[in-house]
Amino acid sequence: MKHSIHCIAGAAFLAVSTSHAAEPLTAVSDKDGIGAKSAETVLLWRTSPAALTGKLDKFSTSGYFQSLRTPSGFELLDIHPSDHPHHCGLWWPWKYIEVNGKKHNTWEVQEDQGAHVAKSAKRIGTDKDGLKWELACESIVKSPEAGASTAILETTTMSLADVSSDTRVLDIDIQQKAASAPVMIVNYRYSGFSWRGPASWQKENSTMTTSGGKNRDDANGTPARWVVVSGSTPKGMASMLIMSAASEIAGIEENLRVWDSKNMNGTPFVNFNPVMHKPLPLDEKTPAVSHRKYRVIAADRVIDAAGAEAAWQEWTRK
């Protein structure tokens, strides 16, 4: 088992070189969140709930990526889609957690049982290190008897770099611990790190491939180190490659929850789930849930299976 998953700056295949990008990345922050811009905002992580109105009001939350664009400007995330308004682009709440013998749904905020929320965000490192942030989040639980309380404390580091004119890399390192009472992450068919892809990508104009050689119609429920989805854009082709370091950190690959061609006509939904088959305690002895690490590559090109595997191998230094 290996634990030395290298950051962006340490990878030869993905060596940081913002000089190739049309505009260099600069950090941005405002009342809504933090992120980066080039000619436009290319990354936004929400530190405060969006001002949603009407029927969407109960879906307002924070602690998720609202925007991730390829270098050419193609948006890869879908927020509050009409079919699943609780989907939030790129996000990682647990479906169910158990605290003091009671199960809480922290995924579907509209149920008002709990939520994964942002508490703070700050830039770390120096400009020569590229763009890097430290995020503080909490998983809260609610009950009519006790009100709201914090169940999970989370520290996440993320970094962003343009490594070429057509490739953008986002690293996300999530570490969680129980706030006070022990927490059990309850098993369910979906839970954890998730991506809702662009509505314009469907079965007719996009493809999905996993490290296990599966596609969108047979990948659901299978283990994987990475998933890549490629599809058409107004300017050509783009890819979203999501890589998990679970096999290196926890010694076992995460399982996938994905939509097939019949589900929303193949619109991308990808979930890396360490608790698909059994519950796990949230403690340092169980890194499958307490320490999760991912690399996301947003590219203006097709990334095939060989390219995805090469990127994962280089990232993990196997």
* Rounded distance between C-alpha atoms, residue 68 and residue 29, angstroms: 15
- Could you give the domains of the chain? 8-316 (2.70.98)
* Rounded distance between C-alpha atoms, residue 250 and residue 276, angstroms: 15
Residue that is written with structure tokens 């925007």 in the block: 67
pLDDT in the model for residue 111: 94
Query: Looking at the predicted structure, is the pLDDT value of residue 17 above 50?
Result: no
Give SS3 for 18. helix
Kindly report the pTM of this predicted structure: 0.93
Put residue 65 in one of left, alpha, beta given phi > 0 → left and psi -120 to 50 → alpha: beta
pLDDT in the model for residue 129: 76
What is the average pLDDT across 152-181?
A: 97
Q: What would the DSSP string read from start to end of 267-294?
A: --EEEEETTSSS-EE-STT-HHHHEEEE
pLDDT band at 152 (very low <50, low <70, confident <90, very high): very high
What is the average pLDDT across 193-205?
A: 98
pLDDT in the model for residue 22: 60
Q: Burial of 22 by CB count in 10 Å (0-12 exposed, 13-18 middle, 19+ buried)? A: exposed
Query: Looking at the predicted structure, is the pLDDT value of residue 18 above 50?
Result: no
Rounded to 5 degrees, what angle do the CA atoms 239, 251, 116 make?
60
**Per-residue model confidence as pLDDT tens digits over 29-73:** 999 999 999 989 999 999 999 888 788 889 999 999 999 999 999
193: tokens are 């790190």
pLDDT band at 128 (very low <50, low <70, confident <90, very high): confident
Instruction: Read off the amino acid at residue 3.
Output: H
Query: Looking at the predicted structure, is the pLDDT value of residue 82 above 60?
Result: yes
Q: Burial of 200 by CB count in 10 Å (0-12 exposed, 13-18 middle, 19+ buried)? A: middle
